Amino acid sequence: MLQLIRAASILCFISAAVVFTACGVSVAEQQTNKRTEKKPPVQIVSDKPKIVAFGDSLTAGFGLAEKESYPYLLQERLRADGYDYEVVNAGVSGETSLGGLERIDWVLEQENVRILILELGANDLLRGLPVAKMKENLDRIIKKAKAKNVEVLLCGMLAPPTMGAQYQRQFVTAFPDLATANKVEFLPFVLEGIALDPKLNQGDGIHPNAEGAKVLMANVYKALQPLLKK
């Protein structure tokens, strides 16, 4: 019973996210996305093996200082635990799976990329984009990474019943299906323990605040463990 209540609560959270976005709460995020896309890519030079955090506003750290974003916190945690990786924040607020596909080649051209943390799909959901196309885009991103011998951690997202039963079912199953088909590590719900908690979210009720980003980092770090090497 508690599991059913918890699942329903999470779906209510995502339903609220859809409503907030439709009402224009994500306008600032969309503007951030436009500004980011205009910036020329910066070549990152380092001999250390890299973990690329590749995603949308949850990865970029929307509304947070750089040192509060989950990729920055992940870098600190890895260093504290004796791992010699460089974490690259390749998040873009407002990014869809198509946007990610369009820029993944440049990201994978960086030297010594060993792991890709793939966190995309939420904006496809919020915009009601076809699940089949999102799945295809994510599949192509994963295959591009694996073709370069880059290991992948796929982060999942949930969909609310307000999107329709068929859409919800297709969206929710897309992520585990991709993980299984491509044999990659999988984090079922990236916002586990964060969704619906006002103490862990910003005023929009969607994006994690500084404390929520710590939980997000912990979720990712736990799922990342099988891929890490000292």
154: β partners: 118, 186
Strands (DSSP E) contained in 6-150 are 50-55, 86-91, 113-119
Q: CA dihedral in degrees (35, 201, 25, 64; nearest 10)?
A: -20
CA distance 76 to 51: 13
The half-sphere exposure of 80 on its side-chain side, counting CA atoms within 13 A, is 7
Q: Which residues of 200-220 are buried (b: 16+ CB within 10 A; e: fewer)?
A: bbeebbbbbbbebbbbbbbbb
Task: State the catalytic residue, choosing from 57, 69, 93, 97.
Answer: 57
Gyration radius from the chain CA atoms: 17
57 carries an active-site annotation = yes
In the annotation, is 47 catalytic?
no
CA distance to 87, 104, 111, 125, 127, per residue, from 44 (Å): 11, 15, 8, 31, 32
Decide: 63 and 207 in contact? Cβ < 8 Å. yes
Options 15, 139, 197, 204, the catalytic residue: 204
Length of the chain: 230
Q: With contact defined as beta carbons under 8 Å apart, do 173 and 191 qualify?
A: no
Annotated active-site residue in 69, 93, 124, 207: 207
Please, what is the Cα angle at 99 between 95 and 105, to 5 degrees? Answer: 125
Whether 15 is a known active-site residue: answer no
Residues tagged active-site:
57, 204, 207
